[in-house]
Amino acid sequence: MIPLAGYADRLSVRPGETINFHVANATGAKVDASLVRVISADANPTGMGIKTVAVAREGLEQLVEPAERTVRAGSYACIWVAEKISPPDNFSIVMKLWSSRRSERPQTILEWSDHQGTDVLRLSVCSDGAIEFIAGDEATNATRGRTHFRLRQNTWTLIACTYDLARRRLAIVCRDGTSAPGTGVEEHFAIGAIGGTTLFLSGTSSEDGLGFNGRIERPMLFDRALSPDEIARAAHGEALPGLVAAWDFSLDMHTQRIVDIGPHGLHGTLVNAPTRAVRGSTWTGREQCYRHAPDQYAAIHFHDDDIDDCRWPATHAYTVPADLKSGAYALLLKAGDAEENIPFFVVPPKGTQASKLAILVSTFTYTVYGNHARPEWSADPKWRDAWIAQTQQWQAYPHNPGAHPEYGLSTYNYHTDGSGIALASWHRPMLNLRIGYITYPYPDIRASGLRHYPADTHLLAWLEAKGHDYDLVTDWELHHEGAELLKRYTCVMTGSHPEYHTEQMLDALEAYRDGGGRFMYLGGNGFYWKIALSPEKPGVIEIRRAEGGIRAWAAEPGEYYNQFDGEYGGLWRRNGRPPQKLVGVGFTAQGNFVVSHYRIKPEAKSDPQTAWMFAGITDETIGGFGFSGHGAAGFELDRADKRLGTPDNAIVVAQSEDHPPEAPWVLVPEEQLTHITTIPGESHKQLIRADMTYLTTPNNGAVFSTGSITFCGSLPHNNFDNAISTLLGNVLVRFLE
């Protein structure tokens, strides 16, 4: 693990509020903490470099000395049976199981234990698929055994464990989905007395245990040892005498609560946010939405690398002074030779503003990408070596998520069982949300290879250099406060990549735009994916990568609906809200981090509606320079399309061209019909372009969109004296009038 690491309990905070930091320190040295305001997070020495301004320590408090901490990954369910009843001496535990991964270490299916972790009964899946049990006190006198039955992967299997106290006999009954009803394997083992107060599913009371990878459905607890025939009948829903508890995973899917529909209400709690709203053993394919057939989705998918919170204690607290200016800030930590930084954002007091201009910080996108381990890290040693060398050369942030999966990876990665990661959380160190983090090693030192937070500071550095006052607001405030948050601002700007949004956020932006607001979309691939927020735990975000879209993984059929809000997930375009409807342009093509320039439309320079944008610009092409791949137009591109909602009055004022073929470029899948045919009817090559677009909206509002994710990277070029800087300055001044 990283010797000094930490995270904040929130990403945005207001003056007068307190933000807590959770820090782990394995260096053995004391931790020194300080605060800075962040101007530039780009470590590139040929540009601005990292630039921060020290902030007074007023309000910063160390609560405890940070100590060495571990991360307990893996999701599981915990039910304290003894909370309401005396645990039965004889029992049967029945469930259906779908194993998705083998591992060298046994994976815990269930554990029945007392408060001290002794008198344990634990069932696990071995590397060969056998079911292993441990019964009794592991430290002194435990009985062990394993079945001859082998669990098949990706197949639903009925598993039952029964215990007869009088006969001191444990029985394990298994029947896979290919067996005929009433058949299966029953294996018996002689063991001593066991007892339990707490039931764990896919987990264990010990931090050393390895969680289960796969799905568990409808676990039941009986107060007697059932026969194999009774086990099969119970699994088919028949009511049998002796039922103590029956956990119906189809209920309260939006929560981390599991509901017992049995006689005692022995409800349980989920830990580390496993995936819900997934297909169960009875899914027929006739219904695609779990709300329409909840009994077919009565399963939970557990993973041994799930994590929604490191659960480290708070070590530092910062109560933001009342007069602190809105902006990007960070807690800097140092212990011996180790350093860490934890960015956060200060937003204005609720209902107030200090500027006419607001910058919308894409914290939800940052979180969804949090700890993105790029495939090149593990697949290409040369790429990995180049990243390490460039990081050392620039004295940039030295830790890469590819080397530290212990903090949980991003929704652009896979779980260890090969399923896509659908849930992300900011309650953990997010290594790519750091001052000085480099996404792409770049052979030419003049380019920085940045994305997300560090890339967005190119815009902040430009605003500072040009003397523009601004407030920062984040996705969190926009989602919860809606248009009320924005209405007092004359102009609102995005950063380079505002990709992930809730319905409330889009509603607020539309209301702001149509209410006379001036909106500047300065990126690419924006307003693309629909997300849902946990109703229980702030900072936990869900994405279902449903049909369509450039996807890191594809959601399974029947699993396109969010567990948190029950709505269809995936692209906003497939939910009837293409980005073109909001900002005039939408995602069209993606290539590597190799970029190009824009060519100004001749008519845009002569049309009074748009000529003012190009005052002071004499060149016909602009943006063939910058710190994001050497150009303002590239990597991820957006284009106008009236068929998708670009308003009739939208004007494409400039268009990118001559994109380097070595990218290579791909169209977004939602535009392709065949390998040669596109939905708009244009050629693949014609659709590879960024359309810089301007449009007016009701009540004297307006929208300016760049259509490129690398646009802001050109702003710092030549000490902010360049055509892209001039263009943006012209638009901002007009929009602030």
DSSP of 288-342: --TTT-GGGG-EEEE-TT--S---PPP-EEEE--TTPPSEEEEEEEEETTEEEEE
Which amino acid, one-letter code, is at 63?
Answer: L
- Count of Cβ atoms closer than 10 Å to residue 415 Cβ: 22
10-residue stretch averages of pLDDT, the chain, 737 residues long: 97 98 98 98 94 97 98 95 92 96 92 74 94 82 89 94 93 78 76 84 77 96 95 93 98 98 97 98 96 98 97 98 98 98 98 97 98 96 96 97 97 97 98 97 84 98 98 98 97 98 98 98 98 98 95 96 98 98 97 93 96 97 95 97 97 96 89 91 93 97 98 97 98 98
Strand partners, 425: 540
């289960």: which residue's tokens? 212
Domains of the chain with CATH codes: 4-70+312-344 (2.60.40.10), 76-302 (2.60.120.200), 482-528+579-737 (3.40.50), 532-571 (no CATH)
pLDDT of residue 181: 53
Which amino acid, one-letter code, is at 66?
Answer: P
Q: How far apart are CA 55 and CA 34, in angstroms?
A: 8
Q: What angle do CA 448, 454, 460 make, to 5 degrees?
A: 110
381 CB burial (10 A radius; 0-12, 13-18, 19+): exposed
Q: How far apart are CA 141 and CA 258, in angstroms?
A: 33
Q: What angle do CA 138, 143, 148 make, to 5 degrees?
A: 125
Structure tokens at 613: 């944008």
Strand partners, 51: 40
Structure tokens at 306: 């799930």
Q: How far is CA 345 from the centre of its chain?
A: 19
The answer to pTM > 0.85 is: yes
pLDDT of residue 192: 80
Which amino acid, one-letter code, is at 318?
Answer: Y
Q: How far apart are CA 364 and CA 454, in angstroms?
A: 15
Strand partners, 143: 135
Q: How far apart are CA 544 and CA 533, in angstroms?
A: 12
pLDDT of residue 698: 94
> Pairing relation of β-strands 491-494 and 518-521?
parallel
pLDDT of residue 55: 98
Structure tokens at 285: 């394919």
3-class state of residue 459 by DSSP: helix
pLDDT of residue 333: 98
pLDDT of residue 274: 98
Dihedral angle of Cα 26, 27, 32, 37, to the nearest 10 degrees: -70
| CA 178 vs CA 215, 298, 300, 658: distances in Å | 17, 20, 22, 57
3-class state of residue 481 by DSSP: helix
Determine if the peptide bond prior to 664 is cis (ω within 30°).
yes
pLDDT of residue 178: 54
pLDDT of residue 136: 83
Strand partners, 532: 542
